[in-house]
Amino acid sequence: MDCVWLERAKDVATEIGPRAYKDCDFKPHDVLLCTNVNSNPIQSIEGKVDILTEEAYDAAVKATKDSGGGGGFVRETFRCRRALVARGKKKHASGGNVVPVLFEPGRGFRPKDPPAKGKAGRKKKK
């Protein structure tokens, strides 16, 4: 089974770098979608967690607090706001860029396409 991993922000802090890590304002239940893929046997999957969008996570926390639940979840629940996009063809995502994610119902999370770089859209000098 080909797997794309979600990593806890604290576990990839060294790959992101201290400045970028601080700029991202990670919260304790944040995970990053990593763009590296590897194959694993299905038997290696140990359990389930819930991965929510930022809006769904915040709404769920509010709903459980409003119902007197104290903001707790039934099982481990995380929110995914960003992706760690590997630079080049490295095996791991070290030195990657942190970018926002989009959630597509029925398909899941994917990194948001970065703005186009280059000369497109620039006015030529006369």
25-68 confidence digits (pLDDT tens): 888 899 999 887 778 888 887 888 899 999 999 998 888 877 76
Indicate the helix (H) or strand (E) that contains 56. Answer: helix 54-66
Indicate the helix (H) or strand (E) that contains 4. Answer: strand 2-8
For residue 35, what pLDDT is reported?
80
Residue 26 in 3-state DSSP? coil
* 82 DSSP β-pair partners: 32, 100
Task: State percent of the chain over pLDDT 90.
Answer: 21
Contact yes or no for 71/57 (Cβ under 8 A):
no
Q: What does the mean pLDDT of the chain come to? A: 79
46: left (phi over 0), alpha (psi -120 to 50) or beta: alpha
Look up the pTM and report it.
Answer: 0.70
